[in-house]
Amino acid sequence: MPAILGSAVVLVAVGAVWYLKSMSPTSANTENPAQVAAGKGVYRDNCAVCHGANLEGQPNWRERKPDDRLPAPPHDETGHTWHHPDEHLFRITKFGLKPPLAPVGYETDMPSFEGSLSDEEIWATLAFIKSTWPPQIRERHNILSGRQIKK
């Protein structure tokens, strides 16, 4: 294939990937004010009731309740949300705590939002949650998520 044609094919492919990505975000970008603002509203309407208006979680969140289930943990830097990479947080929110991210038959009060929130809304919520973390925690989480931010 002539080089010029090869380059054209590559350009079209790169363009298509870019276009699809811009249509449906696949990351939680704390540097994107519009995404963070959208996520703040989604969080308030869907998550705050359990995870707290200020992301503080439920009281005594480390201790199981009488029904043996765990309370909702905080999403601020005092919890363990930032120990999980982006992809896991997305899957937990979309599908709930199901295998492989939880044992088979695991009983939990964490709902799955598949069907009530779009992927865009879930990523936006995660962008908002992450935007509240101190810079060092955000940086460690970015590294954990395999997406190192160059400074």
Task: Note the residues at the interface with ligand HEC (CB under 6 A).
Answer: 46-47, 49-51, 70-73, 79-81, 84, 89, 92-93, 97, 108-111, 113, 125
Backbone angles phi, psi at 106, to 5 degrees: -60, 130
Q: Minimum Å distance from CB 93 to ligand HEC?
A: 4
CB nearer to ligand HEC: give 22 or 68. 68
Q: Nearest Cα to 120, choosing from 11, 5, 38, 37? A: 38
CB nearer to ligand HEC: give 30 or 81. 81
**Rounded-to-integer distance, Cα 6 and Cα 55, Å:** 50
Q: Minimum Å distance from CB 14 to ligand HEC?
A: 32
Q: Minimum Å distance from CB 52 to ligand HEC?
A: 10
Q: Tell me how crowded residue 45 is: count the other CB atoms within 10 A of its CB.
A: 12
95 CA to centre of own chain:
12
